[in-house]
Structure 1
């Protein structure tokens, strides 16, 4: 009886070990967005395993031949095309990578190409072991196969240099450790053993560094001092042809680090599709073609960083998780119920200021007008500034608004199609820089630009709305009608249609401006509100600021303030009419929220960094979670501090 049980147990273990695992390449894209002429020069050499449940789904779907497309990876954010054997993002444009079944592997445990694996399987089935066989296909690995032992191990050889002597060495096992003109191949990889190895590797890495901190910093925001100058000059230099190796390296880092295949404890996800109640659609801002030309600026990547930070904050905050328990959220301990998706609109628009479009026009392109001195900086500034200039032109503004509106509706419809079980889905908008102004105008002109969904929360990040609306002589009012009004004195009024409006900015961001004074000019007398700090160091910084005053205030002090004995500001309560007006924009009545810098973040470089690092900020991640998940009650009083 014991022998029978043992045999059955061994059979089960064998079956578990030989489950077909699927892999996707991470180093060499098969296709690239916006580059129709791109073709990979070499085969991929770096592969990552799909989650176990994804491998099961892919294998069963392939055998059943029921569907061509299968959603996979974290939150089903990617789609596998079983016909083309490729992997690409589901909701945004990104690199497409090769997908392989784990049938035959090289000595580095990388799966071989489907064509080579299929031919090896065919020859393996003939049980012709210890015999040199010729391969039909023309493979870079070699043209001959020599199976040894039971045929699950073999050597692909380019030629038979060494004759029978080298074959005898390979058969005996000695030759495996000698340099040969070929590679060793193995059928299947022991799933249990490789999984243990992966877990050990993950634990070792986690013990040395914080994975969130390591992976959630964009290239530009890390640069300080002269490094920023050198970085822009060398990495953001104007090249019509990108450095393919560097670009692929950045894509590889994104594919291997942006998406989680395990929970915070290192355990594999039980299922990929979380129950989602809130969808945040994020729109990028200025930068004419930054994502196309500059390899370190990738909006999809920055949204991935924000997604990771929100999950990190959620996992570490008992209070925020309790909000979901009150809302009867499914799996509130692990699932925040929020999904973020990027809306990339700029690549779909061709302006006459661009080089290619200008060829067929009588007007020169922007590059034709650019002075050659400090060219990298001029090109960078040109790319950043030209979108704002073009947006002020009514013709181009209409094109941009139409494109963003269409992209928002397209992604929303696709998400609903792919997730039909998610009922009562709330939609939130987040706009960065010019993206916030674009969204603001869409929500203020809903009769012209109709969205297919209602907007709950609208978050403006690093927004120039304040300055541009001031130049346009436009005030902001609560949403009453779906059009802009014009008063007798020529001042227009915009009324964005959303449930809650927030304007978030870094205190050092030169692009960002307040909006509360555009609602009522009395608010210019009072400070904006501040986002609560998350880290211990930041809490200490805030205490120092309260005790010693703001170190970024102008020096010397105004003479009227010299006799102030206490630097702790006194809060006052707004009158009821102003409170009633402000609470029509959100529950707290405060629209402007600033991020105070750390003690050392008060120089010019910090100002430059501040505008490109919002999506890495833990405080913003926490603020979004609290505002979206809380069941708010409208406040009856608003406390403010005089400037």
Structure 2
């Protein structure tokens, strides 16, 4: 959407007023009135591009609750541009449009630019960089580059804007803008901006000054009326046609100075909550993907905060998301796996080697410690770097949370809990050797064998010491205390179950993750995500029969607080009256008792729900389905039938796992499992292919995180 030009908002004052009161009134009244335009912007749908940069910040033109303080009155005379009138821009590689820095960033860059221009003695350090874009980037003014601080790549160019194209307000190229500025000041300095030359009764307005370039020329009709005309053949032809028709000039108007003033108050709030975003498998396959995923999540959180909580920035605190790349720096086996990979289906095998192989690496005792140390070191490095750039963070009691995806949840969990299988194994072997040595005091031969075994174990321990030494010795693996751990599409529950974690009779999850280590644990997943598993049944056994809490739609008009949502059992544990359809008491297609036949053994069939030992026969089901539905073997019908089978099998499995009479009334202190709601047109079987990577762009999750990172935003 193009921004309108300032001329559309200017309130004209009577010409020729010379009194001081009139001049003062002119300076006060001739402000750009944006109320109608901002109201139009607020009515845009959510599907419109919200024009956020990678730091998640916007221009105050659309953000600030009091926009007028950033708009400046038109000047009376032509004079030198003040720093407030100049705006700096940046543009990422591959983009066509320049993006404006916020006023706070632009002013500091302009001051450094002017200081360097006046520094003839070289007293100013040209390598000193300015923190911009919400603290995620810094600017090198000398070379006009903008660099990311916490990740690599993503370097953008910056440009100083003085002259702008009408409508788009894109800056003119500096080499041309400098020449036009020099010509403008040489001919119109100290002249009134509202000065209008005499206009002839017939014909176009006279051109009082002209400047020609190779591809275009610029005409001055007045000190504040400057037009650019292209010298291309098509543009010349268009000008001849419009001139013959008596139309006005078809050139593009140029504006001197940006459309609103840069102010030091135009700055983002201080960071009160730092969030590390940890990736799972597949980072080796697409290096830097977590940077984009983190950007997507950050932009949606900022967008929802500005849309639903526009006054929250007045509290001068916000959350910031930093990507954590733990995989790109690891070599692990070198080229060993690559050398043993067969050449048949090489492309598919390379994808598996770059993604699923990370799980095998992590379960290996040789590489596991190297992976955990890489993630631990990277988070500590980023935190130290962040605190050095934001010294107020720890002083003001800043909080830290982690958003982890897939395997990243398991690695993060092991780091903060200090779980180390090698250390446990060493302790176990040592205890066994000590016990056997005590029982073998009367046998010298057996004692010698035990001593040899002890020596061998010590040799193995020494060979692995270099790999996990730092992790074993680290008393405090992270330099910060964790506030929240958000698990997205996490297989953590499976890893814990295989490690022997079993449900307890308490309503807390301290045996999984003590609150002294992390205050809150959230397990968020899509119902079709094949990698995600539930955590609550590992706390209380009967929660296998309790449905997870459904995450609210971000645009829902009424949201029940999650702490007040009552637990709800699966449909398999409801009575038939509860399962009946609300329209006419008809059983839902996904409930049990549908009457479909199942086959126990060849030649025997039984009705669904007629007894125990039920088995599904896919071939029989498909045969009966096609026989009863002649001509209806389309893909949609097949998928619906498979969904019904899946629903029946799921309910049967839950019912066999626990009998309804075993359900007790013990409740968790707070819920752990949160499930995304499926959209009406979403197909579960189709979602299997995309659901594991859908979390970064999901606005429901962004709203959920925003309201839990800042609990004061939750509805009372």
Q: Which TM-score band applies after superposition, normalised by the shorter structure?
A: 0.5 to 0.7
Rounded Cα–Cα distance in structure 1 between residues aligned with 2:687 and 2:402: 27
Check if 1:302 corresponds to 2:266.
no
- SS of residue matched to 2:18: helix
Specify the structure having the higher radius of gyration (Cα).
Answer: 2
Instruction: Select which of 252, 271, 276 maps to 1:276.
Output: 271
Matched, 1:415 2:386: yes
Q: 2:107 touches 2:264 (CA, 8 Å); kept in 1? A: no
CA drift of 1:113 comes to: 6.7
Is 1:190 the counterpart of 2:163? The answer is no
Matched, 1:100 2:100: no
User: Match for residue 517 of structure 1?
Assistant: 537
**Structure 2: stretches of 5+ with no match in the other structure:** 1-15, 28-73, 117-123, 189-206, 236-250, 420-473, 560-567, 572-578, 582-586, 596-607, 613-650
Q: Are the equivalent residues in 1 in contact too, given 2:542–2:662 (CA < 8 A)?
A: no
Structure-to-structure mapping, 1:342-381, within 5 angstroms: 342-352=323-333, 357-358=334-335, 363-365=336-338, 369=341, 371-373=343-345, 377-381=348-352
Tell me which residue corresponds to 2:100. Answer: 49
Q: 1:7 to 1:426 in 2, by over 3 A?
A: same
Shift of 1:444: 1.1
CA contact (8 A) 1:105 1:111 kept: yes
- TM-score of the two chains, using structure 2 as the length reference: 0.54
Q: Who is 1:331 aligned against?
A: 314
How many Å apart are 1:284 and its aligned residue?
0.9
Partner of 1:58: 109
Does the Cα contact within 8 Å between 1:278 and 1:427 map onto a contact in 2? yes
CA distance in 1 between partners of 2:377 and 2:104 (Å): 34
Distance 1:288 1:303, change over 3 A: closer
Contact 1:24 1:50 in 2 (8 A): yes
Change over 3 Å in CA distance of 1:420–1:179 after alignment to 2 = same
Counterpart residue number, 1:457: 484
Separation in 2, partners of 1:174, 1:617: 45
| 1:55–1:119 distance in 2 versus 1, CA, 3 Å | closer
Distance, in Å, in 1 between the alignment partners of 2:552 and 2:661 is 20
- The C-alpha deviation readout for 1:413-461, integer Å capped at 9, x for no partner, is 2222222233110111110111111111111118466111100111111
Maintained 8 Å contact 2:273/2:319:
yes
CA distance in 1, matches of 2:493, 2:23: 74
Question: Are the counterparts in 1 of residues 103 and 266 from structure 2 also a CA contact under 8 Å?
Answer: no
* CA spacing shift, 1:370–1:599, aligned 2, 3 Å: farther
For the residue of structure 1 that corresponds to 2:269, the secondary structure is coil
Select between 2-11 and 424-433 the one with higher mean Cα deviation: 2-11
List gaps (5 residues or longer) in structure 1.
29-43, 130-147, 158-165, 197-260, 262-267, 486-492, 633-643
Shift of the 369–69 alpha-carbon distance from structure 1 to 2, 3 Å rule, reads: same
| CA distance in 1: counterparts of 2:697 and 2:77, whole angstroms | 44
CA distance in 2: counterparts of 1:70 and 1:478, whole angstroms = 55
Map 1:137-152; keep pairs closer than 5 Å: none
Partner residue, 1:431:
404
* 1:91 equivalent in alignment to 2:146: no
User: How much does 1:391 deviate?
Assistant: 1.3
Residues 1:149 and 1:550: Cα distance change in structure 2 (over 3 Å): farther
Which residue in 1 is equivalent to 2:197?
Answer: none
> Are residue 397 (structure 1) and residue 365 (structure 2) matched?
no
1:456-513 deviation digits (Å, cap 9, x = unpaired): 111111001122233344458999xxxx99xxxxxxx776821111211111100101
RMSD: 5.1
How many Å apart are 1:23 and its aligned residue? 1.7
Distance change >3 Å, CA 100–CA 310, structure 1 → 2: closer
Could you tell me which residue of structure 2 aligns to residue 25 of structure 1? 91
TM-score (norm 1): 0.59
Aligned match of 1:81: 140
Say if 1:535 and 1:16 are closer, same or farther in 2 by CA, change over 3 A: farther
